[in-house]
Amino acid sequence: MKTVNFTELRKNLRSYLDVVINDADTVVISRENGTAAVIISMDEYNAIKETEYIMQSPATMEAIRRAADELDRGETVRQEDGETVEDFLARI
């Protein structure tokens, strides 16, 4: 994460946007009054929105919790070498 003031951002906007997009970094723009804003890539924004959407579903969150509990208990099934995904899913 990089933090810059507005003047620095304005001088080098293209390079900061390149960092955000190409390096998946975040740029925080600090202002004199103590407030701040954040620049993130569209990919990062979409990932955040998708996560918010998933987390709004109680059923999905419960399924994730159950799966995490199964992992914690060691209740996993291994896909055999050379086994197709379709065959694996049919077996479990």
Residues 34, 7 within the same domain: yes
- What's the pTM value of the predicted model, to 2 decimals? 0.68
Q: Is residue 50 part of a domain?
A: no
Please write the tens of the pLDDT for every residue from 39-67: 999 999 999 999 999 999 999 999 999 99
Residues 35, 6 within the same domain: yes
Q: Are strands 27-30 and 36-39 parallel, antiparallel or unpaired?
A: antiparallel
Can you give the CATH number for the domain in which 12 is found? 3.40.1620.10
In Å, what is the CA distance from 74 to each residue of 52, 62, 71, 84, 91? Answer: 28, 18, 5, 23, 18
What range defines the domain where residue 18 resides?
2-41
